[in-house]
Structure 1
Amino acid sequence: MPAVPDEVRGVELGQYCLMLGDDALVMSHRLQEWVTHAPELEEEVALANIALDLLGQARVLLARAGAVDGSGRDEDALAFQREPGEYRNVRLAEVPNGDFAHTMGRLLVFATWRLALLGRLTGSRDPMLAAVAAKGVKELVYHRDYAAGWVVRLGDGTAYSRERMAEGLAALWPLVAELFVPCPAEQRLAAAGIAADPAAVRPEFDAVLAEVLTAATLGTPGPVSADAVPAGREGSHTPALADLLGDLQQVARAHPGATW
């Protein structure tokens, strides 16, 4: 495991790795819930593969977090033995799945935002973050383009598919502002050349969303809140996260210390 870069606190680097790892872990679980429920077998396989990409990112990031924060926790301990308030994912990743249009809207927003972040992290002074980002951007380009294709297909399809797509985006939109509000640890690490400032990726995000929504003949759901806070980054979550973790952690908590 690479050493912590000079002048960087291991605890803060660990916190940042948790943020990115928790985003990927929780979003992966939501996508896995579509297995056996997707409208077509092809989409089921696609969503499962996207979920596996994100799970792979989460595993490396959680392992890095436990290695540098002084706790000595491994990826399993961090995934399965924390309480909801200890998770640092954005709330967009945790809210329950709606219909297929809702999921495509969420995946488009999440992948576009995460791709912009990881694109900047390829130049991180932390070699592990840079390596994860270099691999992750290749995966996220597919995730974004897959979701964009469906948003256009549904938005510019029948009257009913257009209605479902518009309603899915509208339900997600109140959670978008949080994606671009940095917490103090992110700000300090960004200044040190370790992290990516989420506020800086907003123009790229807006440009991609505008292009996709125009092609889908859909308008932006509405203005983004100007007074958002990094709630998820600070451990403030919706009740949906506790329900999700009940499923995710059930086996590990029922058999503590087991290996598989």
Structure 2
Amino acid sequence: MRYFVDISYDGSSYHGWQIQNNARTVQGVLNEALSTILRTDISSIGSGRTDTGVHAIMQMVHFDHEKEIDADQLMAKLNSLLPKDIAINHLMRVKESASARFDAMSRGYVYKMHKHKSPFKEGQSYHFNQSLDLEQMNLCCDLIKKWEDFEAMSKVKTEVNNFNCEIFNANWEKHNDGTHFHVSANRFLRGMVRALVGTMLEVGQARMSISDFQKVLESKDRKKAGRSVPAHGLYLRDITYPKDIYL
């Protein structure tokens, strides 16, 4: 039987989502907790990887177990056993063929920045105190919603068949003491959101024009794009699936 788990985590203490040798990862901690409670080896599959220090408001995971599970009971046990920086939000039965990774129709991210130094936002948001032209940055968003090839925004030496992504939504908005960048797509390349944010910050500070931004995309050259902003401002969220996978 296959189950989906909706989890949230603070990625500050982890070397990303995906299991690695000699490194503490969210997937590794979750697998250990599931295996302990269910008394059998459990291997989970996530909707996608998050890098070291990146957080998740919503990460979807699937795992298999031969027996039927009481979802509420397992959620309670997992939340008691897991560390404070990982929380189980929902657990549900799905079709045997359902995949948290391959059936995802869209994934979303939000990148959080704050202008004034705050001890309460340390590690949770990027402290960026420069003034920004959000109107120009949102023109960049209009452009990427029409774009297809994002090789210029991908980490180099990434093993993918292509660099094509369909951006469904992208926008910058003011949020209390700072700004948030929201983006959703059918898929994302490694490092793509942090590179997009870093490049759009150049536009927002008038160091790069919209025309220059388009030329970066056309170049397919990561070296011509902006810097990769810090991981701790990035949150995975809003993963959607076809309704017919749920039982």
TM-score by length of 2: 0.29
TM-score by length of 1: 0.28
Structure number with higher helix proportion:
1
Structure number with higher strand proportion:
2
Instruction: Look at both structures and tell me which one has the larger radius of gyration over its CA atoms.
Output: 2
